[in-house]
Structure 1
Amino acid sequence: MRSFWLGVAAYLLPSFPIAYLWHLVVFAPVYHELAMYRDDVIVPFGLASMIIQAVAFSWIYPRVFPDREGGALRNGLLYGLGIAALSWSFTTLAVAAKNVMTSVPTYLMLETGFTLVQFAIVGPLIALAYRRR
């Protein structure tokens, strides 16, 4: 159970600041130009979404890597790649398909970059949370 909660923290603690800085500080002007987000984003909804993701991704990890052979870094990067692809499919592709925005290519580039950065960090951290001592 300890590993599960460490995995939740391994996802949530870096994801929230990365997302906040990426979307609301560093690239805020570009997202504003896309004209697809509310001016008054509801940060608690984003945090609630991340908590759900953290629980799910932490729960899934030991089922994908039950033996944990290959090391935490290798497994973590592989896991990060897998969950990045899943996340990208519903947070980037589906949003681009359904939402009105001024530039789909710009949105795809920004969100793909965000997804790669986020999961390159959280994948290995979740793997570390589950490493055998």
Structure 2
Amino acid sequence: MTMAPSTRHPASAGRLWLGMAAYLVPSFPIAFVWHLVLFESQYHSLHIYRADPIIPFGLASMIIQSVIFSWAYPLLFPGQRSSLLKNGLLYGFGAGLLSWSFTTLAVAAKHPMASISDYVFLETAFTFLQFLIVGPLIALAYRNSS
């Protein structure tokens, strides 16, 4: 007895790993430099972050995010043959908007800080930059995967 072939093409493990790297490799250095170098004094003046951030927690968080964002791409763009850049930017916009909702809006709603508007501006700019880069990279990781 033969089974009908699946009409769905789940991502291969290799593509999943590539997508994870496409998220993690740029995200960690961007976040580190953005939060702890370029804008460290601005974040410090907001009085919302600990003086000694726990870097392994941040990295662990990004590893979890990389799995989910990589896993989701082929489900949202199955067999898409249109523009790699278009798909990547569209995915980056959607994933970035989701991320922004819980890393910016929810934090601003729950945590005391010196300036909500400064925080929202900084985190919005960071999230935009991050997903402008990682969205197309994740799309590239999944190119021609079906």
Query: Does TM, scored on the shorter chain, surpass 0.5?
Result: yes
Q: Which has the higher helix share?
A: 1
- Alignment counterpart, residue 113 of structure 1, candidates 125, 130, 133: 125
Q: 1:2 aligns with which of 5, 14, 28?
A: 14
Aligned with residue 73 of structure 2, among 57, 61, 74: 61
CA shift digits 1:23-74 (9 cap, x unpaired): 0000000000001100000000000000000000000000000022212111
Give the partner amino acid of 2:52.
D
2:89 is the counterpart of 1:77: yes
3-state SS of paired residue (1:101): coil
Aligned to 2:33: 21
Letter of the structure 2 residue corresponding to residue 67 of structure 1: G
Alignment of 1:11-50 (within 5 A): 11-50=23-62
Return 63-72 or 45-54, whichever deviates more: 63-72
Unaligned runs of 5+ in 1: none
Q: In structure 1, what is the Cα distance between the partners aligned to 2:74 and 2:60?
A: 23
SS in 2 for 1:68: coil
Task: Tell me the SS of whatever aligns to 1:38.
Answer: coil
Instruction: Give the count of matched residue pairs.
Output: 133
* Identity of matched residues, %: 64
* Equivalent-residue separation in structure 2 for 1:111 and 1:82 (angstroms): 16
Q: Which has the larger radius of gyration?
A: 2
**CA separation in 1, counterparts of 2:97 and 2:79?**
23
User: Structure 2 CA distance, aligned partners of 1:22 and 1:72?
Assistant: 27
TM-score by length of 1: 0.98
